[in-house]
Amino acid sequence: MPEQNPYEMAKKQLEDAAEIIELDRGIVDYLKVPDRVLQVKVPVRMDDGRIKVFTGYRSQHCGVRGPYKGGIRYHPDVTLEEVIALSMWMTWKCAVVNIPYGGGKGGVACNPKEMSEAELERLTRRYTTAILPLLSPDRDIPAPDVYTNPQTMAWIMDTYSNIMGYAVPGVVTGKPVEIGGSEGRTASTGRGTAIAAREAAEVLGIPIKDASVVIQGFGNVGYYAAKILAEWGAKIVAVSDSKGGIYSEAGLDVDEVAQHKAYTGSVIGFDGVEEITNEELLELECDVLIPAALENVITERNADNVKAKIISEGANGPTTPEADRILEEKGVFVVPDILANAGGVVVSYFEWVQDLNRYFWDEERVNAELEKVLVRSFKEVVSIKKEYENKKITMRDAAMILALKRVVKAFELRGLWPQ
C-alpha cells in the first residue's frame, strides 16, 4: 500500500471535524487551500566548487488569526504536498493552544547529513533570500524543524537583518539565546509532549511515576520528552532513531543513551540492551508511546498491534485517519500532534513576544507559562470530546473542532474582503 499523501490526510482530518460541527461548505473549501505557496530554486556552490540546485518551499496556510508561524525542515523527502499539509496543521496547532498565529511551514529537499556546515550555511542564506518577500516579524516567522536547529535560525536572522540594515531578532524563533532566543525553547516541544502524556495518564488514573514509556525518534523532541518524563519518575524502556531501536525492560538511562548517540551517531550499539526495529518498537507493550520522528508511522496496517495505553504525538502527522479509528476502538488515549507537540510553537510565541519587547524571561517563567497554556488547552480538548460524546469523536476530532471554531470565528469577525 502506498504511503498516504500528507496533504490528503490533512484535508481528510479537516473534513471529518467540519462534518461533526456542520461547518459551512464554503468555509471548508477556503480552509482546505493555503493562502499562498512559494516554490524556489536554491543554487548552492558546494565545497568542491560545483553548483548544485535544490528545491525549497514556503507555505502560508491561513493568516486570519495572526502572522504565519512554522518550522523549516531540511530533508531529502520534502515535497510541496508535505509542506502544505504541515502549514495546515500549524494553523490548527496555534489555534488549539490559542496563540495569535496562523500556520506556515517551509522546507528544502536536501540531505543535510551529506553536507558540510559551510554548505548548509550557504544553502540557508540562499533559501532565506529566495523566500524573503514572505518573511517579517509581522508577516511570517520561521522556526527549526527536522534537521534544522538554532544555528540555522541564526543564519536566517542574520541574512534577513543584513538585507534590512538592522538587527531583526523577531523574524525567526528557536535562535540561540545570545542573539534573542528564549530560555527553554530547545526543550519546549519535548517538554510539551511529556506534559501531554502526563495529563493523559492522569485522566486514565495511571501514575506517571514508574509508567513505562516507549519513544520512536531520539532527536531533540524524543530526547527531551524522555529526559523530562524520566525526571518525573517514568521508566523509559525503548528508544529509536532512523537506524533502529533499543529495548530494556529495566529501563534506560536517557543521558547515557544520548551520550552514546552523540559519540556513535545512533542509539544502536548501546551496551546491555536488546536491539529492535522501529516497527517492533511501535508494537511494544507500554503505558505511553511517543512517536517523535516523521509522519505516517501508525497506519491501518499496524494500529491493531499497538499495545500502548496512551499515545502522545511528538511528531507531526504520525497517525493516519484510518489508524485513529482503530486506536479509538481499542481504547487507546491519543493526544494528537496539534496539542501534544505544541510546546515548541508556544515557546516560539514567548520568544517572539520577548524579541518584540526586548525584555527576556528566565527559564523558570518560560516553563511555568508553557505548563499553564498546555494544561489549559488539554482540558479544553477533553471538554470538547465530552461535549460531542454522542458522536463518538476522537481526541484528534476534539482538538480539530476547538481549533476550527477559533479559526472560523476569526474569519467571521474579520469578514471576506474585497467582496
pLDDT at residue 295 tops 90:
no
What pTM was estimated for this model as a whole? 0.93
Please report whether residue 102 resides in a domain: yes
* One domain for residues 146 and 236: no
Asked if residues 311 and 303 have their Cβ atoms less than 8 Å apart, the reply is no
Rounded average pLDDT over 6-19: 90
**Same domain for 200 and 69?**
no
The C-alpha cell that represents 116 in the structure block: 558540510
Single out the residue of 335, 351, 346, 349 nearest to residue 371, CA to CA: 346
Q: Say if 359 falls within a structural domain.
A: no
Is 159 found in the same domain as 191?
no
The domain tally of the chain equals 2
Residue 203 and residue 265 in one domain? yes
Whether 92 is in a domain gets the answer yes
Residue found under cell 479509528: 325
Q: Is position 32 annotated as part of the catalytic site?
A: no
Query: Given the C-alpha cell 545512533, which residue does it identify?
Result: 266
319 and 204 within one domain: yes
Please give the pLDDT value at position 3. Answer: 63
Q: Which of 11, 69, 93, 105 is catalytic?
A: 105
Do residues 201 and 306 share a domain? Answer: yes
Q: Is 151 in the same domain as 227?
A: no
CATH number where 316 lies: 3.40.50.720
183-to-28, 220, 254, 314 alpha-carbon distances in Å: 38, 15, 22, 20
Mark which of 272, 305, 338 sits at the end of a domain. Answer: 338
Q: Identify whether residues 209 and 334 lie together within a single domain.
A: yes
Residues 198 and 101 in one domain: no
192 and 219 together in one domain: yes
- Relative to beta strand 333-335, strand 288-291 is unpaired
Is position 410 within any domain? no
Distance, CA of 44 to chain centre: 28
Residue 54 within a domain: yes
| 258-268 confidence digits (pLDDT tens) | 999 999 999 99
Domain of residue 164: give its range. 34-168
How big is the chain, counted in residues? 419
- Cα separation, 197 vs 269, whole angstroms: 28
Alpha helices in 210-283 (DSSP H): 220-231, 254-264, 278-282
Q: Are 31 and 85 in contact (CB under 8 A)?
A: no
Give residue 419's pLDDT band: very low, low, confident or very high (50, 70, 90). confident
pLDDT in tens, 129-183: 999 999 999 999 999 988 999 999 999 999 999 999 999 999 999 999 999 999 9
- Clarify whether residues 206 and 99 are in a common domain: no
Residue 7 lies in a domain: no
Calculate what percentage of the chain has a pLDDT beyond 90.
91
Sheet bearing 68-75, strands edge to edge: 36-45, 51-62, 102-109, 68-75, 140-144
Residue 178 makes CB contacts below 8 A (sequence gap 6+) with none
What percentage of the chain exceeds 70 in pLDDT? 99
Summary mean pLDDT of the chain = 95
Give the SS3 label for residue 189.
Answer: helix
Q: Please give the single-letter amino acid code of residue 392.
A: K
Using the predicted structure, report yes or no on whether residue 1 has a pLDDT greater than 60: no
Q: In terms of domains, do 117 and 77 share one?
A: yes
Q: Is residue 57 part of a domain?
A: yes
**What's 267's DSSP letter?**
S
- Last residue of some domain: 338, 368, 385? 338
State which of 338, 373, 400 marks the end of a domain.
338
Residue 271: band (very low, low, confident or very high) from pLDDT cuts 50, 70, 90: very high
Residue pLDDT, tens place only, 316-361: 889 988 899 899 999 999 999 999 999 999 999 999 999 999 999 9
